[in-house]
Amino acid sequence: MLANNIMIKKTLSHGIKVLKLSTWISVVAALLVVLVVAFFVTFPALIKAPIEQQLSEFSELDISLSKISFDFNQDGLALNLHNFKVRSPQQGLPIAEVNHLQWDINLISLLDDVYHPSEIFIDTLILYSDTDQNTNEFGVNQIRQLISPQSLEALYFFKSLSINKTLIKGSQTIEIAPMVLSRNEAQLSLSVVEQDLGFSLPDSQVGKANIIATLSTTQSNQNKALIIPLLISNDEFSVQSHLKIFNEHGNDFVEFNSYIEQMQASDMAKYLPAQALSDDTHAWIKRGFVSGKLEDTQFYLKRNLSTSTIVETRFDTNLKDMELLFNSDWNSLKQLDATLQTDGKKIVVMVHSTQLNEMALNDIKVQILDMGQPKLEAEVIGKINTQSEDLIEFLRRAPLSETVNEVMNQFTLTGDVTGDMKLVVPLDERESILDIDLVFDKNHLTTLNGGVVVEDYTSKLAFHNDEITATGAGNIRGMPFDIYINPDNRGDDNESTFGVELSDNSGLEVYITKRLDQSWRARVESESIKGNVEVVLNEGGNPSVKLLGLQVTTLDAIKGEWDITPNDFPSMYLSAQGVYIDENVLPNFSAELLSQDNMLTISNLQFDGVGVGDEMLSFNGFWVDGRTGLYANAKGNGLAEFLQKLKVKEKVAGGEFDFDIRLFCECTPWNMNYQDVTGYVAMKVKKGVFTEKDPNIGRILSLLNIKSIAKRLKLDVGDVTKEGFVYEDIDARI
């Protein structure tokens, strides 16, 4: 019993001691908690001012904090800086602002006495661009101080810096995607993922890319320039770049260089911010770079941060197998192999080879001289060395005026051509301007639908103000002629759309024009021949050709051995009015000429007023192989009336007649005369009287002599008889 009481007393005594100890422990623990809480409540307030002071002295800027706090998380202790602001030291201009910075501190570092780099998180970083260019409180020197080797070495305490969002505020707000700044020994690496290259600016529809920047902490302090290598890439391209920040002659500069090995031309517009270009320029690049590749592209940018000078830019690239469209009215440049250069003010494309309107072009320069103009124009300047037919086809495909297209359809050219070309193509809806100066050497020229053929045509041709002019020379039928296209020495140019002037050493001049009513006119002038020719093209039929006011001083002027064949004459309806030969008027006449297989068929050759009764006397004939034939038939009841229509002044009474005339000549039509004519005349005349003079049939046949016709068919039969006679029937074949 006694032993039990003693045991109980000892147990109670030990329990009381334990209770007292636990009470003291609880009190101490509570006190420690209070002290810790007091520390984390009061300590941030105590260290706020020293931190602000140290950071300000370190950066030479005005830095302020609104609050500092500590938090515990699963990784340990976190230091929070709230409303972190950076201002210029003198004027207090805002430079940067951080709404919340969290620094995760590894508590293990406190136990093993070895610091373990920690992670820093920033929710939103705001940078303010200096809109007042006269303030230079924060410049390159301050940037170099912040990221100098000494400063970067002091950043050993962090493992990575993550920024959720960065805003650069100025006249516009630029947004940068989440970025991570990490440290790997002596190198800092900044990575930005899926950055919108339009930087979230309004109306920006530019592509996205990943950006990686590297900065060495061991850069020499002797180097006054800060160089940051950059890699910008996505699935479509990879850009190797570097950013250089330096001070020169007291001014701060930023310089950006980049290199793109290859990218698709059609993707170019996606990565050019619309704000950096005019609307017309950006729209043209988007529309004009149809296909192909850009190779070995280099981009350079330099800006003086201390002044308001214009940004200096340069863009160089090689265009490979490109399709480039300047204007929707023009075909695009295809298979383009060229180099492109621009300084932001003008664009110059040196074309090594390309095709435009299916014509090969070499050594061509394409340029936009002033990118700052509200209405942009592209100039295509270069040399031409091609075939004439290819050049004509090129011009026919060009969107030129209807007048020019009409002129191009009036002639053909075959042979070599060289020259200079300048094409101005507006990048809007304005019309293009084409200027060409050409030299044709020994070409084959045809005009008037093949009616005029010029061999060995050598000429200088100019195309300006939508008008073609040319001065040259060539051979027509073996005869040399000076040839002028659309000469300016004619007073009726306002009535014509196209003109050709031909002249030779003998004084012959031929001026051919196409009129506004689509007819053709020709004026022929020489010492022996003057006259006008009018040609009307009949749709679906032969043209109508009129000889108007033709004056021939003598028949010898048109006789001769001309190098002309029936094939040289087109099929036509021929008529003549007011034709004079040897001062005599030739009756107006008309005929249909059909040219086929080197044979010219003459149909319905009729002279006004010459006929039987109400019907005209029609001659028919042919010209083939150097032979000419004419034939006609006339029947009637009054020989007197018939002879009167033939302008025969001799008195004749009565006479039913039937004439059948077939004449041939081994000559050309213009060389026919009655001495060389062969053939026959069948004549039947009944019951008539020749009074006063007896006609001679040989002289009657001279009606077919061109010279006699030119003398108004006047017959002189005084050499036959001086007495008339009465006849019953005359039936003769001669």
| Statement: residue 613 has pLDDT above 80 | no
Model pLDDT for residues 129-151, shown as the tens digit of each residue: 764 444 455 555 555 555 555 55
Identify any residues that bridge with 258 across adjacent strands, giving them in sequence order: 241, 299
Give the chain's end-to-end CA distance (angstroms, integer).
Answer: 193
* Tokens describing residue 414: 């075959």
3-state SS, 75-140, equals CEEEEEEEEEEEECCCCCCEEEEEEEEEEEECCHHHHHCCCCCEEEEEEEEEEECCCCCCCCCCCH
| Statement: residue 708 has pLDDT above 80 | no
**How far is residue 243's CA from residue 684's CA, in Å, rounded to a whole number?**
115
Rounded mean pLDDT, 500-517: 85
Q: Of 222-231, 331-340, 582-591, which range is least confident? A: 222-231
Whole-number pLDDT of residue 209: 84
Q: 653-681 in b/e burial notation, b at 16+ Cβ within 10 A?
A: ebbebebebebbbebbeebbbbeebeeeb
Whole-number pLDDT of residue 715: 36
| Statement: residue 44 has pLDDT above 50 | yes
Rounded mean pLDDT, 441-467: 85
Which ranges constitute the DSSP H helices of 191-337? 279-288
Asked if residue 194 lies in contact with residue 219, where contact means CB atoms within 8 angstroms, the answer is: no
| Statement: residue 9 has pLDDT above 70 | no
Whole-number pLDDT of residue 649: 56
* Extents of the domains making up the chain: 589-734
Whole-number pLDDT of residue 149: 56
| Statement: residue 502 has pLDDT above 80 | yes
Of 530 and 237, the one with more pLDDT: 530
409 phi/psi in degrees, rounded to 5: -85, 0
Identify any residues that bridge with 67 across adjacent strands, giving them in sequence order: 82
Whole-number pLDDT of residue 237: 78
Residue whose structure tokens are 């800092």 = 188
Selection from 98, 151, 147, 155 nearest residue 127 by Cα: 98
Model pLDDT for residues 302-316, shown as the tens digit of each residue: 888 777 667 788 889
**How far is residue 670's CA from residue 657's CA, in Å, rounded to a whole number?**
30
Whole-number pLDDT of residue 108: 59
Reported as a pLDDT band with limits 50, 70 and 90, residue 532 is very high
**How far is residue 339's CA from residue 233's CA, in Å, rounded to a whole number?**
23
| Statement: residue 24 has pLDDT above 90 | no
Model pLDDT for residues 364-400, shown as the tens digit of each residue: 888 888 877 878 888 888 888 889 888 888 878 777 7
| Statement: residue 601 has pLDDT above 50 | yes
Q: Of 166-180, 354-368, 648-662, 708-722, which range is least confident? A: 708-722
Of 721 and 72, the one with more pLDDT: 72
Strand residues in 206-284 grouped as ranges (E): 208-216, 226-233, 238-248, 251-264
Q: Of 284-293, 547-556, 673-682, which range is least confident? A: 673-682
| Statement: residue 446 has pLDDT above 60 | yes
Cα-based distances in Å from 279 to 283, 376, 426, 432, 687: 6, 10, 14, 20, 100
For strands 520-525 and 572-577, give the pairing: unpaired
Whole-number pLDDT of residue 710: 38
**How far is residue 226's CA from residue 215's CA, in Å, rounded to a whole number?**
9
Model pLDDT for residues 651-704, shown as the tens digit of each residue: 555 567 677 888 888 888 878 776 777 887 776 766 555 555 444 444 443 443
Asked if residue 717 lies in contact with residue 694, where contact means CB atoms within 8 angstroms, the answer is: yes
Secondary structure of residue 599 in the 3-state scheme: strand
Whole-number pLDDT of residue 318: 93
pTM for the full model? Answer: 0.59
**How far is residue 321's CA from residue 334's CA, in Å, rounded to a whole number?**
7
* Tokens describing residue 42: 């009061």
Whole-number pLDDT of residue 712: 34
- Exposed, middle or buried: residue 617 (CB in 10 Å: 0-12, 13-18, 19+)? buried
Whole-number pLDDT of residue 415: 93
**How far is residue 98's CA from residue 82's CA, in Å, rounded to a whole number?**
7
Reported as a pLDDT band with limits 50, 70 and 90, residue 250 is confident
Whole-number pLDDT of residue 4: 55
| Statement: residue 456 has pLDDT above 90 | yes
Average pLDDT, the chain: 75
Q: Of 532-546, 584-598, 608-622, 700-714, which range is least confident? A: 700-714
Reported as a pLDDT band with limits 50, 70 and 90, residue 489 is low
Asked if residue 635 lies in contact with residue 658, where contact means CB atoms within 8 angstroms, the answer is: yes
Cα-based distances in Å from 658 to 215, 551, 629, 636, 727: 119, 35, 20, 7, 15
91-105, 556-570, 609-623, 643-657: which is most confident: 91-105
Model pLDDT for residues 396-435, shown as the tens digit of each residue: 877 777 767 777 777 788 999 999 988 888 877 788 888 8
Selection from 79, 81, 80, 87 nearest residue 59 by Cα: 87
Residues above pLDDT 70, as percent of the chain? 69
Of 633 and 668, the one with more pLDDT: 668
Q: Of 412-416, 495-499, 520-524, 629-633, which range is least confident? A: 495-499
How many residues comprise the chain?
734
